[in-house]
Structure 1
Amino acid sequence: MSYAYSSAPFRPARRDSISSPSTILVQIQNGLPPWAQQWIAKLRAGPRAGRQTSPREWKAMGRLTIRRVVTIANALILFWVWTLWWGERTVFQESLEGCGWGEWEKWPSHATPHHVAFVADPQLVDPHTYPGRPWPLSTLTVKFTDQYLRRSFSLIQRNFGPDSVLFLGDLFDGGREWATGTTSSPDERYRKYKDSFWKKEYSRFGRIFSDQFKEGDALSRDPLGRRMIASLPGNHDLGFGSGIQIPVRDRFQTFFGKGNRVDVLGNHTFVSVDTVSLSAMDQPDPQTGSTGAGSGDGKSPNEAIWKEAEEFLDQMNVHRAKAETHELKSLRSQTEGYQFNHAAVEINEPSHGQLPQSETVGLPAILLTHVPLYRKAATPCGPYREHYPPSSSDEELQEDEQNSLKIGGGYQYQNVLTQTISNDLVSKVGSNLVHVYSGDDHDYCEVVHREFSGSPKEITVKSLSWAMGVRRPGFVLTSLWNPIDPATGKSLENVSPTLQNHLCLLPDQLSIFIYYGLTLALTLVILLARAVVVTIYPSQSTTADAGPMLPLTEVQRHIPTSSISSSTTFAPRGLASRGSNFNSRSFEYYPEKGRQRSPTKGTYSGQGYGQQPGNGHGKGLVGTVGGKLWGEVWFVAKVVLSWYIFLIWRW
């Protein structure tokens, strides 16, 4: 028997022809930071050397891990996490802590009041607000103001769940400027914005407010359901007086409802009046310059603007009777509408087919107007006015120029209604007018109109937006309790007054941004100082690019440089292999001195394998400091920005 052998010499398979599991693990290990490679290598060193890791070595590794985790950069990240949570969550919740209904309501224990939230002048920021503001600052302004409004309105719903939310006008900032199908803006700068732009703004209003309104459904106790009414127009929605374009008003009323209306809420009659249109009654016509009745035929040139509001006031008794009768029917759970007797009647007896007449029940009336009522100049607004607090602590102060709501006007606005309009308005609403709510001024103002019958109090509600000139935006919560007999509408208890108000202030967003800016400046200073110290004193560094910091194995014997091949690597036993990252050059490690010696350069350094302190690979001191600073800033920024985006994205 013979055997034949191949003459070709035996060649073992190449090491790189097969990706063994050990090779993959080595590659993964090489991709880790140096300190992590050392820690993993140390875990493997004990068994390979045939011995277990001593408690002293475990303790040393623990200290090393702590030093790697407890760093200045990580401390700054934790501080930023807390800061952003405070600025985006905590400060908003804390601002509303004293606004809970039970904190200020003073009703009997058995009372079931109707809760109302008044929101004024959100004025969604648009190109009309800051016409000269460039991109991207303009886009960021829109983003952050919308977020503030959405967050604030959401908190109102979640925390208080008001039964009704009433807006007091100026829903948009430039609503009067955007073209309709038949009109264009009076200002040439805005004529490029068409009707489609207004409709996008309407959808934006819905996303900010309407979508959040349902969040309060679980807290409402009104058996008739919750309501959000935003039909009262402001001068930024329509214009003012003779400057109003009828198609602009028609568009607003088509989407939001009639500006002149009567609603019964909590056994109180709310009368909303479009006073920006009504004000055209005593304004000069832009074409003829005449006012009032104007021409000899008794017709005012502005009649198309003010006539609707005037007719509504003239028929106030009818409107109130209809609304109050409907409310009583709802309380009695009666079917909707009127019932008739089915009978044949003579044509000459039409009275049998007439609707039954409604009678005014006489519920307490509340007037809603965007523009505040007239008052004497220098009438003080009280202690809650932000811009100018009272000049004296005297509560009976009759005049205070700085604390007052200024009497004046300008393009498409007027700070207060004229005395004639105000008298006509109050007299036609009814003698039982108990309160007035208005907006427009953006700041809070509270006055008692002693010149009118019943001396009704008026509250001008703060703007809800932080972009409207007030540092602390706000809103007003109102509690209504007027128990009545559903059959007659008469009060069952002698309650006076039947409503209570509470001003709620929201956070100062500008101060929050300033605090963020100061925190950013402090962060940069700390990281810059650290980069300078680490560059000048590298032996004190604890960054990830540092070399071994602990005596992990015994000291290697010195081997002359001339006897070492350039491809040979010496390392502490059990810590390095051909797959480790210490394969670029030979070195000696002296653990008792915490430094390395490069055989190729013959120099010592605390960090960086033979680099001189501060040489920065030829970049110089400034380049090295800049590189370290940028690395730390980017490391902190990645985490902080991710956290901030999460906070503003979710809410």
Structure 2
Amino acid sequence: MTGYDDYGLPVGAYSEPEGLGRQAYRVARAFLLYRVKPVAERGIHQMRSGRWTWRSLFSLVRVLIVGWCFVVFWGERRLFANSVDACEWENWENWPAGANPHRLLFVADPQLVDPHTYPGRPWPLNTLTVKYTDLYMRRAYSRIQRVLYPDTVMFLGDLFDGGREWSTATSASPETRYRKYGDNFWLKEYNRFGTIFLDHWGDGGMIPRPGQPGKKIISTLPGNHDLGFGKGVQAGVRKRFHTYFGEGNRIDIIGNHTFVSIDSVSLSAMAQENSDSVQELWKPTLEFLDGSKKQKQRLIQRELRTMQGLRPNLPMSHEMIELDGLAKAQLPHFGEPVTEFPTVLLSHVPLYRAEGTPCGPMREHWPPTPPPKGQTEPLVKDNRNAISVSGGYQYQNVLLREITRDVADKVGNIQYAFSGDDHDYCEVVHRGYTSGGGGIKEITVKSISWAMGVRHPGVVLVSMWNPVDGRGNPLEKTDLPTLQTHLCLLPDQLGIFIRYALFFALTLLLLLVRAALIASGRVTVAQPVESPILPTTNEPEKPQGPYDPTSSNSSTSSDRGKLQVRNARTRSTSPSQGYGLPMTQSKYTYPLVQHAGFYGDEEDGKKEPKSWGTVSTKRSKPKKKGFALFAQEFRNSMTVVAGVVLSFYFWLIWNG
């Protein structure tokens, strides 16, 4: 039995309106069925009937279709393939023969576009930006996984753009306009991140390369757009991030290198005013740093024992642990001293450097300033090419000097550092901090998104080779570093759109010129011949024989050889005479089926069509001339080009 809701309406009688995706599908389907399909069928019919010639084959419309298909395939496929293929490991790695390096991929600042990114951008522009940035990152990331097949993938923070603004049960955004976005919206963004990156992590396969322990992906490092910065970090927002991604402070042994990740955005609250009131923000990272040297030794020792096939840890002792000490309890470990691996520091916010410290020639937005005439060395101070030492609401371009020095001292033996946040590439050697010798080489990784202010997004590839013995001592005595890097640039999506726009303008111009030439009579085109739906009938031949009305034996005269249609429609008013043709009006008893489809002579000044030769019995419309012909030709040619090209374009998008 059908139920009724509170308004007295049958339950299920009404449904939600169709979404934009469904409506777009219906419009596209109707366009293909009623615009593109008839034109394609007519072309196939012409081809089968032999009416295609070399001249028609190379007509302007067909040339434009071929040109558009080439341009679209080049922009949606070949550019991505060429960019990633140029980054093949063998093209830039420089290891001794027989080396089997561990290969790692750094991804920085995806910053998924959301309502926080462009708050004033209207629909549908904002929706298209979301769709195309996601498509770009998914396509590039998938291609990297399939072609480069890295052993480890690490993210350097700012996974979301407005993650810090979306409310939790215990926190809310400082800005009123974002308070309506809560946990449900954040979870949708989390699922969106997984659809782009996590779901495509295994596109190249999940089998480890020979000699490698396995594939790994780490996305725990938070950025200021994920949590906020300093005292702007809210405890509820940080707990939510840790719940779904993991702790931001961690140590990983990868490729015989020690990777130390620190939550630098929370640690920065330690140097701000009234920092004692927010100890819960910076204290966990500070405690992590205090124990990082011992933790590195334990993890290196466990890794070496695992490599030798030994038990990595001692068995757990059977003793009671107090509740308050359970969080800090550790597994027993072997206390044998081992040689430390090279340490790599990971921080979302770059380390401190003096203002104007150059970032090098691979910085896209502001390349190095040319040195004065006669000077060959690059400038020591180049404000244009450097990362600005400044900050603002919920961000700071570099860590404070005191925090950077404290991190370097407590972690120790730092040889390399990788960071994000700036969106552009920057390479600096810090010589003023404790390091493993020769200074700390820091690389700030480009954003992978084309909506973050760089025309050529990118990722950084890292190749590590550090063979060691059972104690951690290097086996190979070479002058080569144990870690090599390469900046892998991705396509210029904005440049692709610009090329599409230019080719579209050229298409419009050529089709307008074509339509104008046809309208002026300077160019003629073959008109399509339409086959009639109904058969064409002519006046039947007059039979010869005993029933021939022209025969001398016939009782009718020759002027009665045609059926008078108007009289045939006159009915008898007397039932006694029967229904049908009255005997007084019937000129002869010739079978009417012989005259099927034939109309009589012109009568009373009214002209009747002679045959059923076309779909309609009305006269065909006169051929268009002038502007009407111009508009018709332009509209028809544009419809054909757009229909074929857009179908191919959306097929490419739908298939990645």
2:145 to 140, 157, 160: 157
5 Å-filtered alignment, 1:321-332, equals: 321-332=297-308
Q: Partner of 1:513 in structure 2?
A: 497
Q: What stretches of structure 2 of length at least 5 have no aligned partner?
A: 1-37, 320-330, 532-600
1:173 partner letter: D
Q: What are the Cα deviations for residues 243-273 of structure 1, in whole angstroms up to 9, with x where unaligned?
A: 0001111110111111000000000000000
Q: 1:392 Cα deviation (Å)?
A: 2.3
Q: Does 1:196 find its partner at 2:164?
A: no
Q: What are the Cα deviations for residues 11-59 of structure 1, in whole angstroms up to 9, with x where unaligned?
A: xxxxxxxxxxxxxxxxxxx99988987898xx7xxxxxxxxxxxxxxxx
C-alpha RMSD over aligned residues: 2.9
Q: Partner of 2:634 in structure 1?
A: 629
1:372 to 339, 350, 373: 350
2:460 to 458, 463, 476: 476
Deviating more after overlay: 31-40 vs 505-514: 31-40
Q: Partner of 1:488 in structure 2?
A: 471
Q: Does 1:381 find its partner at 2:359?
A: yes
Q: 1:71 Cα deviation (Å)?
A: 2.4
User: How many residues are matched?
Assistant: 528
Q: Does 1:99 find its partner at 2:87?
A: yes
2:341 to 341, 363, 378: 363
Q: Partner of 1:339 in structure 2?
A: 315
1:88 is paired with a residue of what secondary structure? helix
2:106 is paired with a residue of what secondary structure? strand
Q: 1:153 Cα deviation (Å)?
A: 0.7
2:165 to 165, 177, 184: 177
Taking the aligned partners of 1:644 and 1:249, their CA distance within structure 2 comes to: 41
Q: 1:539 Cα deviation (Å)?
A: 6.4
Taking the aligned partners of 2:135 and 2:299, their CA distance within structure 1 comes to: 37
1:383 is paired with a residue of what secondary structure? coil
2:389 to 382, 407, 413: 407
TM-score, normalising length: structure 2: 0.76
Taking the aligned partners of 1:461 and 1:235, their CA distance within structure 2 comes to: 16
1:89/1:375 CA distance change after superposition, 3 Å = same
Identity of aligned residues (%): 49
1:441 to 422, 431, 455: 422
Taking the aligned partners of 1:159 and 1:379, their CA distance within structure 2 comes to: 36
1:627 partner letter: Q
Taking the aligned partners of 2:333 and 2:45, their CA distance within structure 1 comes to: 91
Taking the aligned partners of 2:447 and 2:226, their CA distance within structure 1 comes to: 15
Taking the aligned partners of 1:32 and 1:373, their CA distance within structure 2 comes to: 61
1:230/1:565 CA distance change after superposition, 3 Å = same
1:308/1:628 CA distance change after superposition, 3 Å = same
2:199 is paired with a residue of what secondary structure? helix
Q: Partner of 2:15 in structure 1?
A: none
Q: Partner of 1:593 in structure 2?
A: none
Q: 1:220 Cα deviation (Å)?
A: 3.4
Q: Does 1:419 find its partner at 2:461?
A: no
1:580/1:244 CA distance change after superposition, 3 Å = same
Taking the aligned partners of 1:35 and 1:396, their CA distance within structure 2 comes to: 63
Q: What are the Cα deviations for residues 418-444 of structure 1, in whole angstroms up to 9, with x where unaligned?
A: 0000000111111x2110000000000
1:413/1:526 CA distance change after superposition, 3 Å = same
Q: Is the 8 A contact 1:145 1:465 kept in 2?
A: yes
Q: 1:545 Cα deviation (Å)?
A: 6.5
Q: Is the 8 A contact 2:369 2:379 kept in 1?
A: no
Taking the aligned partners of 1:206 and 1:359, their CA distance within structure 2 comes to: 41
Q: Partner of 2:526 in structure 1?
A: 542
Q: Partner of 1:216 in structure 2?
A: 204
Taking the aligned partners of 1:128 and 1:179, their CA distance within structure 2 comes to: 13
2:135 to 139, 147, 159: 147
Q: Is the 8 A contact 1:34 1:545 kept in 2?
A: no
Q: Is the 8 A contact 2:313 2:333 kept in 1?
A: no
Q: Is the 8 A contact 1:67 1:542 kept in 2?
A: no
5 Å-filtered alignment, 1:516-595, equals: 516-537=500-521, 540-544=524-528, 567-568=609-610
Q: Is the 8 A contact 1:35 1:544 kept in 2?
A: no
Q: 1:624 Cα deviation (Å)?
A: 3.2
Taking the aligned partners of 2:289 and 2:152, their CA distance within structure 1 comes to: 24
Taking the aligned partners of 1:135 and 1:173, their CA distance within structure 2 comes to: 19
TM-score, normalising length: structure 1: 0.76
Pick 1 or 2: higher relative contact order, CA cutoff 8 A, min separation 6: 1
Taking the aligned partners of 2:77 and 2:332, their CA distance within structure 1 comes to: 59
Taking the aligned partners of 1:222 and 1:624, their CA distance within structure 2 comes to: 71
